[in-house]
Amino acid sequence: MSTKLSIPAKEPKAPASDLQQCLKQGVDHLFSAQHPDGFWWYTLEANDSINAEFIMLLHYLEIDDKQTEQGICRWILNNQREDGSWALYQDGVGDVSTTVECYMALKMAGYDINHAQLAKARDFILSQGGITAMRIFSRIHLAMFGLVDWKVCPNMPVALMQMPEWAPVNIYEFSSWARACIVPLLVIMDQRKVKTLAGFDLNELYCGDPEQADWTFAKEDTKRVSIENSFIQIDRALKVADRMKLKPLRNQSLKKCEAYIREHLSGTEDIFPAMFYGIIALDALGFGLDDITIEKALLGLRSFQIIMKGQDLHEVPFEDSSDQNYNVVHKEAANQNSSETIYQQCCVSPVWDTAWAAVAALDAGANASDERLITTTRWLLKKQILETVGDWAIKNPGVVPGGWSFEFENQHYPDLDDTIEVLTLLHKINLPYHELQMPVRRGLNWLLSMQCKNGGFAAFDKDNNLEILNKLPFSDHGACLDPATVDITGRVIEFLINTVQYPKSAEVIERAANFITERQESDGSFWGRWGVNYLYGTWCALEALGALGRKQDELVMARAVNWLKSIQNDDGGFGESCDSYAQNKYRPLPHHISTASQTAWGLMGYVGAGLADSKEAKAAADYLMRTQNPDGSWDEEAFTGTGFPGHFYIRYHGYRKYFPVLALAKYRKQLSR
């Protein structure tokens, strides 16, 4: 991750000769990155806490892998900012938790505390209040190594695993990603296994005496009555009960946790934190590295790694320039004195990338009978989840599975976003009816069944909106829920109307559209959950409402379009900072830099509103054509994907590849009408 965004040169590149040529070059570039098996898979880049935590995992499990450790250290050191910190995204403010974790990993790997870069990191940490300013999850990582007492972490009784689904609080009230971490954390925080590293501490990161450190929860305010303070008092009571050995149902709960972890890791290639905690939980229960579930999860995490000879991160993971053979489940051992750099991805996105790239290529003019896309489609058909009834069924019982997930393998967590885009492709590709009938029917039925009571659609679960959970001390990241969002709801509506030709008067569409219009911001924009931020949400809302064409939504759409116009950059493009989430309002990128993916979203917003012939749409399209590289690609350094608003952002290396092509294709289609 570069620490700062590059300011574009004042002299723009020469524009493509015309829109048609630009699209052809874009499609050719997409196909140049296609895997022989038919899929697309682009790199996911996030902050360096993920890299640091893999080093922690090696030390916790006593795995001697100096080559990987030093390779990751090279990446971490290269991304340190001038003020000594590590941030959540380029040009973001330094993040204390991420900086402490990077410092800790580097020190574990043998770097001396007087090393110039560690000294700078230490100065930054102390200037921000020291190590006690870390978030809850980072505290847990310290406790795992005996660097702090477990009492500075929130108490999570393992008996939570026994709470029935009808109980006010149970594991299924948490989002899928939180649940996947919470279940193993119940084990970790019950067992409290400590891996002590000889002579290792972080005392130099305290502003005062470590014994007198104040580890008060950030949400605590003893002068007022609040839900947050009530939970803090409950946490204290749980700690008292813990000291008194009052742990009802402990053994049964631990067995249930273990079964859940094994079941989900065996059929899941999930996000890094869930696999990380799952491994540690099984280790805490006494299972070794020869345990088949631990072995599979470790191989899965290693398969996320990208190996480079320099510091330039590959945009396509399987195009590995190192001397090692890349394989999705194994990396062969190499010389530990290698000078290669290693990057640990937080997740992998082949289904997501494949569906978007294929749809973009088709909309831009690729033949629906192209053998390359036929191979793509059949690869995706094999990824449909048809047998495993995942966690989604707890609140949506009796529904036959039929969705798609984000990764190569994730049987338990299909999501609506991926399912929408794969189904879009299935409606466009030229395959025999008998091959598509069942997958389309199963996928569409599953998608429609996931509508929430409020009319909206969420990512992984249905009616996952118990707000009280985000008040827990454990939830200082505020990402324990998966509520319905404007962006996913908008994508469902647009797909149903434009692709499936669903009746516009259908109740499912009316309820979804009302959900969207009720959530318009005062400035006319819409908040986006899974892309940065108001640009992403507004694009999805405009495409949905434009497809529906209700008279009652005209003012809503006009206000959204006016907002788009008001934030469009002078160069015709769009660019929004991740800081929009922290500020709860639109924030441009530094120097009003435009990005390829966000300009594509803005352009698709105009097209969705029926304004392809507007001067603003033309300016956005001209920006994309002008900034296209000779090979048909676009450049983009900014993080425009959202993991957890305010805490975790992603630079999808594929976004600058397929979204501009898709946007220009939609623009061309509307102009030709």
Q: Is 224 helix (H, G, I), strand (E, B) or coil?
A: coil
The secondary structure of 304-332, three-state, reads CEEEECCCCCCCCCCCCCCCCCEECCEEC
Query: Is 312 annotated as catalytic?
Result: no
For 268, the 3-state DSSP assignment is strand
Amino acid identity for residue 319 in this structure: E
Residues 6+ apart with CB under 8 A from 25: 16, 628, 630, 631, 632
Nearest CA among 240, 273, 325, 295 for reference residue 136: 273
3-state secondary structure labels for all residues of 141-201: HHHHCCCCCHHHCCCCCHHHHHCCCCCCCCHHHCCHHHHHHHHHHHHHHHHCCCCCCCCCC
Calculate the CA 194 to chain-centre distance: 30
Check residue 591 and report its DSSP letter: G
Instruction: Tell me how far apart the alpha carbons of residues 665 and 364 are, in angstroms, rounded to a whole number.
Output: 5
User: Apex CA 160: angle with CA 155 and CA 165, to 5°?
Assistant: 150
Q: What is the C-alpha separation between 244 and 155, in angstroms, rounded? A: 14
Q: Comparing C-alpha atoms, which of 91, 80, 47 is closest to residue 576?
A: 91
- 73, two tokens: 């250290």
Radius of gyration of the chain from its Cα atoms, rounded to whole angstroms: 25
**Helices 655-671 and 350-363: crossing angle, nearest 10°?**
30
Half-sphere exposure (Cβ direction) of 630: Cα atoms closer than 13 Å? 0
CB burial of 119-148 (b: ≥16 within 10 Å; e: otherwise) equals ebbbebbbebebbbbbbbbbbbbbbbbbbb
End-to-end CA distance of the chain: 42
Cα–Cα distance, 539 to 574 (Å, whole number): 12
For 229, list phi and psi in degrees, rounded to 5.
Answer: -70, -30
Annotated active-site residue in 417, 461, 482, 579: 417
| Rounded Cα distance, 49 and 138, in Å | 9
Q: What would you measure as the largest C-alpha separation in the chain, in angstroms? A: 77
Looking at the annotation, which residues are catalytic? 417
